[in-house]
Amino acid sequence: MAVCAGGLFDQAKRKEELIEQLRQGPGEAATRVNAVGAGCPAPGLWTLARIRASVAWLAEYSLSGVWRVLQRLDLGLHSAKVQMYSPDPDYVKKKKRLERALRAAARQPADQVVLFLDEFGYYRWPTGSRNWGPNVAQREGNNQQWRTIGALNALTGQVDYLDNYIVGRRQLIKFYGQLVHRYPAAQRIYLIQDNWNVHHHPEVLATLARWPQLQPLALPTYSPWLNPIEKLWRWLRQDVLRLHRSVSDWPALRQKVRAFLDQFQHGAEALLQYVGLSGDGRLAQVIRTA
């Protein structure tokens, strides 16, 4: 169905032109929409008013009319994504090592295990969020902190964790031992972890030497998209920590966090789907095509 703006026009051509203009970002005309004085920089985001000011054939449209035109051209509002970037000069090499480990586990799941490790901290005071209903979150007393170190099995979704008021080298060593006992038959346990300096502490390295089946693989720096357990923490924040009602009962809040993680102690396909290790995720494709 054609859209009119001073007459009929080729909808496909107009859509192509509009997409190109949107791709270039707001310019001088869009800047004048909300500018207070001279020298105002160009905005980074498009709004309906800025689109109308920048596209000549939309100048006489109301904002609701601009919205309808965009909908008709299948140009609805969406969440823009910033390009993922890691400054690590060995990014490609480290990513390939991770992929090789995933393929090895997919081919020999009884002997090879891939675990994504990470540390997570949370506070007694609830984090804010939009919510239906009255504002029930309260902040009282001291804002205490608790930390958790966790491991996510890339093939099963099984989650292991260890928590304490602080997670340092001693807790890390204890957690490594916990993982060795969890997978007693594994010939190789790949530990996919970030570049936390505690991972390179002499006591930690000495412990790894006693357990040769543990094979640490460092992630590229600043590359959380390669560590799916980060999405598990996001799920935990959304379901348990945002606007929680346990501010007056610190032990109860910690128990709720444990209960959330305990539901994955035997693995879960739903978790694998959520973190991108099953379905159409990039790491899922590596596993599927091994």
For the stretch 30-61, pLDDT in tens is 888 887 777 788 888 899 999 999 998 899 99
**Residue 28 is part of which domain span?**
14-72
pTM for this prediction: 0.78
Of the pLDDT bands very low, low, confident and very high (cuts 50, 70, 90), residue 171 is very high
Same domain for 264 and 158?
yes
Classify residue 116 by burial, with Cβ atoms within 10 Å: 0-12, 13-18, 19+.
Answer: buried
- Hunting for tokens 């090592």 — which residue is that? 97
Residues 113 and 226 in one domain: yes
Query: Residue 7 falls within a domain, yes or no?
Result: no
Question: Is residue 79 assigned to a domain?
Answer: no
Is position 78 within any domain? no
**How many structural domains is the chain composed of?**
2
- Does residue 111 share a domain with residue 56? no
Within 8 A by CB and 6+ apart from 42, the residues are 25, 26, 27, 28, 30, 31
- Of residues 97 and 78, the one with the higher pLDDT is 97
At 112, phi and psi to the nearest 5? -120, 130
Largest separation between any pair of C-alpha atoms in the chain: 78
The answer to whether residue 85 sits within a structural domain is no
For β-strands 112-123 and 188-193, DSSP reports them as parallel
Residue that terminates a domain, selected from 72, 103, 138 = 72
CA distance 233 to 246: 19
Question: 90 to each of 87, 93, 215, 248, how far by Cα in Å?
Answer: 9, 5, 18, 47
Mean pLDDT of the chain: 90
DSSP alpha helices (H): ranges in the chain? 11-24, 28-34, 48-54, 63-72, 91-107, 169-182, 202-210, 229-236, 250-262, 269-275, 282-288
158 & 274 share domain: yes
Residue 257 token pair: 């966090």
pLDDT (tens digit per residue) in 233-273: 999 999 999 988 899 999 999 999 999 999 999 999 999 99
Residues 229 and 114 in one domain: yes
Query: What is the distance between the alpha carbons of residues 169 and 176, in angstroms, rounded to a whole number?
Result: 10
Q: Are 65 and 199 in the same domain?
A: no
Residue 270 sits in the same domain as residue 209? yes
Residues 122, 55 within the same domain? no
Please tell me whether residues 261 and 190 are part of one structural domain. yes
How far apart CA 101 and CA 109 sit, in angstroms, is: 11
Same domain flag for 48 and 134: no
CATH code: domain of residue 183: 3.30.420.10
Q: Which helix (H) or strand (E) holds 246?
A: none
